[in-house]
Structure 1
Amino acid sequence: MAGYSVFVALHIAGGAVALAAFWSAALLRKGSPAHRLVGRGYLLAMLAVIASGVPLTAQRLIDGHPVGATFLAYLLLLVSTSVWLSWRAIRDRQDPSAYLGRVYGVLAYANPLAGLAVLALGIDRGQPLLTGFSLVGVMVGVDMLRRRRVIPTQPRWWLEEHYSAMVANGAATHIAFLAIGLPRLLPVLQGQGWYYAGWFAPVLLAIVAKAWLNRRFRLPAGGTAQTSPSLSQPSPVPRL
């Protein structure tokens, strides 16, 4: 494919910027101008990762690797979902019906269906990574369908949607670094144990982080909670 090396470079650069921006945004005061600016940079970097990932996936298919291409396409769907949710949760914070519109519905069903397809492929080809990671798409879709019923009853629904999606974004960013990027820099980490840890440890940590954030910020039905000024004012993101 013409320009393949350019897409690879863009993919790597986007991932590196996203990793740095993720931790910068996490450490900055939520809602501050710096947090908003870095958050915008993070989303733009992730868009570069997604856009450059499409031709890389196509190249895998052209090269005769349909399993690898299928898995990469599945990963792009997962990342696109979390990026879209993190952006729209803020933009549509005053209009949950807009957030829960057609795109939300398509993603809510596409993720579990894609996960089941990857599960079948993983079992058929004896690929533990595909088999195990297929559950991520299924869980994402099930949770989105559950949240679609809950969101209209929560006054601060956008906050949970935003931090949940950003936790998922963080998991994706760290998987790319730990499972793909770091072993290339440090060949000693190219063993099978590190490979699977790089894929699944960020997912497990994301589940733990989301549970902790839920305990800290989620409101009981009809209840109120004390929040800091930075959290009571949502951080605007660009109209992409």
Structure 2
Amino acid sequence: MQTLHQYLLILHIISGVLALCVFWGPMLAKKGSPWHVRSGRWYSQLMYLICGAGILMCALVLTAPLVVKAADLSPGQDPVKFAAAVRQMSGFLLLLCLLALMNLRQGLLALQAGPARLSLRLWTHQGLVALTFLCALWTLWHAVPRQFVLGQIFGGIALFSSVGCFRYIHRASVERSDLLKEHIGNMLASAIAVFTAFFAFGGRKVLDLGPELQLLSWVLPSVLGIAATLWYNRRYAKGRAGLKTAAVR
């Protein structure tokens, strides 16, 4: 199990680094252009690898924490308490992987499905949204009494995001602008997971952030991602308003 976990971790890290670079292709390219579509496809494939490896790693740790994380167990440390702490963190990381995967699928299918949203309503996708919702509830259920701040923050984000996905899927009707907003918002949300991992794990060490800034390293990517989503949506809304005014004239 340890060896498999290590290989998955290497795949997870390499895919994450590549995704950090490739993300700027669809982000900066003209929307709908060949380069936007091509780089977006690369980014999506990397995200599938990141999420898949992450989910498998979390499953291994949750199944056998004392085997997979044996090297982290200090001499004299209580194995029961150690296993409980490791499982709590792995459950939290599993939620992040599910959240990123759900946002990625929602963003991709929003454009592919069109106003009918038939592929979004398949049990495979709605099952993923439901699983993310239940995992968010489970995380909040354990995080609140244990004062696990990260679990409270991201449990709330995952809960809100999964409910938003369900509302879009089952809305009576959607406009073309709604498709693009759903695509942009969820693709940016999936990227937040990559940047969160960079700041919270690698970036915190590279930038030499102290313990007092650990929470900031987790929360900052989400704050910036939400701000970027609002900016994109406002920019697109202004662009459509300008086109309508020009058409009237």
Q: 1:151 to 1:210 in 2, by over 3 A?
A: farther
SS state at 1:207 partner: helix
- 1:151, 1:157 within 8 Å by CA — same for their partners in 2? no
1:91 aligns with 2:106: no
1:48 aligns with 2:69: no
Structure 1 residues 188-203: aligned runs within 5 Å: 188-189=208-209, 191-203=210-222
Q: What CA deviation, in whole Å up to 9, does each residue of 1:188-237 have, x standing for no partner?
A: 22x23332112111112222222222223249xxx97639xxxxxxxxxx
Structure with the larger helix share:
2
Amino acid paired to 1:118: T
- 1:25, 1:39 within 8 Å by CA — same for their partners in 2? yes
- 1:93, 1:158 within 8 Å by CA — same for their partners in 2? yes
Shift of 1:69: 2.0
1:26 aligns with 2:27: yes
Between the aligned partners of 2:109 and 2:160, the Cα distance in structure 1 is 20
- 1:7, 1:56 within 8 Å by CA — same for their partners in 2? yes
Structure 2 length normalisation: TM-score? 0.80
Which residue in 1 is equivalent to 2:68?
Answer: none
1:209 aligns with 2:210: no
Which residue in 2 is equivalent to 1:110?
Answer: 131
Between the aligned partners of 1:34 and 1:194, the Cα distance in structure 2 is 37
C-alpha RMSD of matched pairs (Å): 2.3
- 1:60, 1:68 within 8 Å by CA — same for their partners in 2? no
Which residue in 1 is equivalent to 2:193?
Answer: 172
Between the aligned partners of 2:18 and 2:111, the Cα distance in structure 1 is 22
Amino acid paired to 2:32: G
1:36 aligns with 2:37: yes
Q: 1:100 to 1:161 in 2, by over 3 A?
A: farther
User: Please, which of 219, 226, 231 is the counterpart of residue 243 of structure 2?
Assistant: 226
1:125 aligns with 2:126: no
Between the aligned partners of 1:3 and 1:14, the Cα distance in structure 2 is 16
Amino acid paired to 1:53: G
- 2:132, 2:162 within 8 Å by CA — same for their partners in 1? yes
The count of aligned residue pairs is: 222
Which residue in 2 is equivalent to 1:13?
Answer: 14
Amino acid paired to 1:145: F
Between the aligned partners of 1:48 and 1:208, the Cα distance in structure 2 is 27
- 2:55, 2:98 within 8 Å by CA — same for their partners in 1? no
For structure 2, which runs of at least 5 residues remain unmatched after alignment? 66-82, 245-249
Shift of 1:81: 0.2
1:147 aligns with 2:148: no
SS state at 2:31 partner: coil
Shift of 1:6: 1.4
Shift of 1:97: 3.0
Which residue in 1 is equivalent to 2:247?
Answer: none
Shift of 1:3: 2.6
Q: Report which stretch shifted further, 159-168 or 138-147.
A: 138-147
Shift of 1:148: 3.2
